[in-house]
Homo-oligomer: A and B are copies of this chain.
Amino acid sequence: MIKKFKEIIENYNLIEKNDTIIIGSSGGPDSQFLTYMLNEIKAEYNLNLILAHLNHLHRKEASKDENLVKATAKELDIEFQVKIASMDEYARKNKISAEDAGRRLRYAFFNEIARKYPGAKIAIAHNKNDQAETMIMRMIRGTGIDGLCAMNYKSSNIIRPILSMEKRDIINYLDQNNISYAYDKTNGENDYTRNYIRNEIIPKMENINPQVVDNLYNLSELLKNDLDIIESRVDNACDNVIKSVGKYNISFDKNGFEALEDSLKSRVLRRAILKLKGDLKDISKENIEQFISITSLGNGKKSVKDSLIFIKNYKTYDLYIDQSNNLNKTIELLSPDKKTYFNGLIFNVTLVDKVTKTDKYTAYFDYDKVDFPLTIRYRKNGDKFKPYGMNNNKKLKDFFIDEKVDRNLRDKIPLIISNDEIIWIVGHRVSNDFKLDKTTNNILKIEVENDK
């Protein structure tokens, strides 16, 4: 196994000498296996290993799991870091599944550690079975080739060195080497969808072909290969047909765009929309076809989807986001992986331990006082606000007058709303009702930056 492990590390350039690697560990078999494997190459690569465990407080065995990871750290002489956070509470608060909550909390914690070590990598113990399950889950929920590629060995600072290893081989290795592991947490009763796929759907597929996990894994590898081909062709097409890229507008050369095959037009448009909106949520195949269909119509023809407009001009096709419609945006959930884009700004929302950076574009709130989803919008008539340090509501208009904010700027200041109350006038003041105080357990940090 160690031989295969090393081959993967080398073939996919996952680890370099002197790396700091934060091992995300649940204490389950995959995590234990990953930890022991990394420990095997620790000396050779001169690695700084950190074993990180998030105690979800979720099941009775939670502290037992924590102790196992701690004991492993001690045995292997690796630094151990632990954090406690209730995934159930987080899930309730954010109206997401416990599974999703756990995932978000874990990655936030691992990233928190990673920030202390520039260039640090986070190693996650996903294996071949996880990969197959993810593919089936995405297929059921709806996806394209990008989604079917599922997880990669490497994506930004995350590495998955045991992605191509099979569960049964992992368990065999642990048993043969007398390495103990926690009851597999990922089988937990709340981990509903994935669990259902693992226990109900895959066994039925295995009745048809016992090799189904392998086949799905191989499919993901083949598709990654294909996706590379597609992406490089789309890169090329974009280079050729995109004339200009603005914050709210992307302009295509008319002849160039028309000369693309329809399949490429579709991919190029998707990429442009991703650039403008930050995601492809709510954009269906039909929406894209609608956009493309104006190529066969007269000049001046428009196709509209939400705030997205695609228009045929004399020398160009222009895709843009209509600002007048774009006055509301939702920060649905905390997500360490995801940013929220709003009219040229990026909103980063994270849970933190303490207040660090303070500037006009960073604000902190008592997380337990806030209701998700948050909304970002501009002011409207009748807006009120309780400025930090005051005990009464004030009309927003009066606040702007008192603060001497230029009249023509007032419509351009984003407001963050929690359950109809303004919690932050971005760049100006936070609300007194959501500020940090002695009772604060969890700190919500919002940072705003320009989308360069």
Contact = CB atoms under 8 A, between A and B. Distances in A.
Chain A residues touching B, range: 35 or more
A263 interface: yes
Contacts of A264: 229
B218 A193 contact: no
Interface string A257-277: 000011110110000000000
A223 B140 contact: no
A218 B142 contact: yes
A118 interface: no
A226 interface: yes
Nearest to A237: B229
Given A208-B196, A209-B141, A226 B230 contact: yes
A233 B142 CA distance: 26
A212 interface: yes
B142 A225 contact: no
B229 A267 contact: yes
A324 B308 CA distance: 63
Interface in A127-148: 137, 139-145, 148
Given A205-B201, A233-B233, A222 B144 contact: yes
Given A225-B263, A263-B225, A218 B141 contact: no
Contacts of A3: none
A207 interface: yes
Interface of A: 137, 139-145, 148, 193, 196-197, 200-201, 204-205, 207-209, 211-212, 214-216, 218-219, 221-223, 225-226, 228-230, 232-234, 261-264, 266-267, 284-285
